[in-house]
Structure 1
Amino acid sequence: MRLIRVAAAGLLLVSASVFAAEAAAPYTLLKGEWEQGGLLIGKAAPGSKLSFEGQTLKLSDDGRFVIGLDRDAKPEVELRITPPGGVAIVETHDVAKREWDVQALTGIEPKFVDPPAKVQKRIAAEQVIIKRARTRDTAIDDFATPFIWPAKGRISGVFGSQRVLNGKPKSPHYGVDVAVPVGTPLVAAAGGIVSLAEPDLYFTGGTVFIDHGHGLQSVMVHMSRLDVKVGDRIEQGQQVGLSGATGRVTGPHLHWGLYWFEQKVDAQKHTGPMPAN
């Protein structure tokens, strides 16, 4: 459900007819759903001003913009649009709740539940590097390109799943796992600029972030080889490295994910079905 309000003289006025207001909505939703883990691509009139949950959004030259909804996005969110020369329109959107696969496992050796104390300082330092990369908000517009899969193979892990080990909830799975052997070529899902290229992070091993613009970044981890460096311009389909089993893993695979700033979104839904090999 979408409720539209019009801001006038500093007040928010609830429209008499939601349907009439919908017809005058100053943007078009090109892709995506208002649901947890969703990624939405829209198009407004060039020169419009938009904000989502208080965060100012960039618009491309042709008016395209992107919004990401976290795995645990709240039930209602607010989008504010001001067309060129017009008054602000505020939309409140219901966010559909999704059900996640949660597995409870007991009898796990403690060393597999929590990292040892001696690596906590390293982990904290690496998180700073990762967070810095995620805060990028560049004006490039590769985010609007239809994405391709960075590797083809059996999907062995899905977005949003979570394990509870010995009664302790662990971080949810924020990407999609593709079961491929070590040494499989990995390509860019869309064009962009490499914002992080680290060969040996504690949790994720060989890790590459690609900035697609407007806060949207893709991440490939557990790589055995990196063929790019920070600042490189990458085109869709270009090889960025090889798959592996580096970091904290139990076997070889590609973990691939999408982030919109700090929001974790479902890469599998944005890309579509896995193509046949």
Structure 2
Amino acid sequence: MKTAFLAIILLLFSVSVQAQSLHIADSKVEQGGILVIQIFPQWQGPMVCISALGKQYVPNKNGYTFVGVGVDIKPNKYPVLRVECGRGVQLDRGPEYVEVLKKEFQKTRTAGRDRSNRPRKGAERNAIDRAFSETNRLVYDLTDGISYVDSLGSRDLSDPFGLIYRNNKKLGHFGVDIRVPIGTSVMSTNRGKVVLVAKNFSKEGNMIIINHGLGIFSVYMHLSKIDVNEGDLVERGQIIGLSGETGARVREPHLHFNIKINGTYVDPLNFIDIVGQYLTR
């Protein structure tokens, strides 16, 4: 009797799973962009994940998942489906598909001979790797579903995001450089936990990395002053430091600002604009 009852429960659960679905906000996305996917019903995360572009993503409390599309993802169609978080067991009969389009990035800089995408080694590299660790990427949403905001009151860019180098088609600039006077207040783009306070790093100068949960991190480089400590919980719009020109090869005072999603850098300003359509103001 008990066995028959369990069989009925499993059958009903299976039927329910098949009836659930996902919705892709825009099935076409450019390299460096954001893919927005919603699952139904929304309460499934973190039991049910989205599998896209070779990675798993946990939905927020409203069922929305934000997937970063790397600049190196080849233009093509890619499957998207719901899977069991962790094990990756497929929960859909068949996938939906998204199409990644080639992005023509604005060319604004010429790379020096010593500039490359090769990762750095040593203590600085280890500290950055710990900040972006798997443990930190698995933290659930720390923003409570509120929207992201600009870290400065300006979008005066000296250099945009992407493959911006005239003499190196593969070299990426994985954030935006926002031109701003030294000493300008820099705000946290959303609620989160400070996972790295870096002082006088060789490339980044003074830098802060904040974990917002769901695999989303924000990065603030070249600061003249840092006003937070590692482990601090910060609020959206909280002043975390002052802009500057610290670090290597800084041509003028600016804030270098990144957004990284599950290991993939995306255009941070585009991220703020797109995800803001699906989050609480």
TM-score range, shorter chain: 0.7 to 0.9
Deviation at 1:250, TM superposition (A): 1.3
Q: Which has the higher strand share?
A: 1
Pick closer, same or farther for the CA change 1:104–1:234 going to 2, 3 Å.
closer
Deviates more, 1:86-95 or 1:215-224: 86-95
Question: Partner residue of 1:97?
Answer: 102
Q: Which amino acid aligns with 2:153?
A: K
Q: Which amino acid aligns with 1:155?
A: L
- C-alpha distance in 1, partners of 2:230/2:260? 18
Q: Which amino acid aligns with 1:125?
A: A
Question: Partner residue of 1:246?
Answer: 246
From 37, 41, 58, the equivalent of 1:42 is 37
Pick closer, same or farther for the CA change 1:263–1:82 going to 2, 3 Å.
closer
- C-alpha distance in 2, partners of 1:50/1:168? 34
Q: Which consecutive unaligned segments of at least 5 residues does structure 2 have?
A: 1-18, 85-89, 275-281
Q: Which amino acid aligns with 1:157?
A: D
Aligned ranges 1:1-277 → 2 under 5 Å: 26-29=21-24, 34-44=29-39, 45=41, 46-47=43-44, 48-75=48-75, 76-82=77-83, 87-102=92-107, 105=110, 113-114=113-114, 124-135=122-133, 136-137=136-137, 138-142=139-143, 144-153=145-154, 154-163=156-165, 171-248=171-248, 249-272=250-273
Deviates more, 1:179-188 or 1:71-80: 71-80
SS of 2:157's partner is strand
- TM-score, structure 1 normalization: 0.75
- C-alpha distance in 1, partners of 2:26/2:79? 18
Q: Is this contact kept in 1: 2:78–2:99, CA < 8 A?
A: yes
Query: What percentage of residue pairs aligned between the two structures are identical?
Result: 29
Deviation at 1:271, TM superposition (A): 2.4
SS of 1:95's partner is strand
Pick closer, same or farther for the CA change 1:129–1:88 going to 2, 3 Å.
farther
Q: Alpha-carbon deviations, 1:38-96, whole Å to 9, x = none?
A: 1234321222343223423223343232211112222233322159x964441232101
Deviates more, 1:31-40 or 1:225-234: 31-40
- TM-score, structure 2 normalization: 0.74
Q: Which consecutive unaligned segments of at least 5 residues does structure 1 have?
A: 1-23
Deviation at 1:217, TM superposition (A): 0.6
Pick closer, same or farther for the CA change 1:31–1:151 going to 2, 3 Å.
farther
Q: Alpha-carbon deviations, 1:94-151, whole Å to 9, x = none?
A: 101100234675xx9xxx6428xxxx99754322321232232211242843221101
CA RMSD in angstroms comes to 3.1
Q: Which amino acid aligns with 1:126?
A: E
Deviates more, 1:229-238 or 1:149-158: 149-158
- C-alpha distance in 2, partners of 1:121/1:100? 23
Pick closer, same or farther for the CA change 1:130–1:27 going to 2, 3 Å.
same
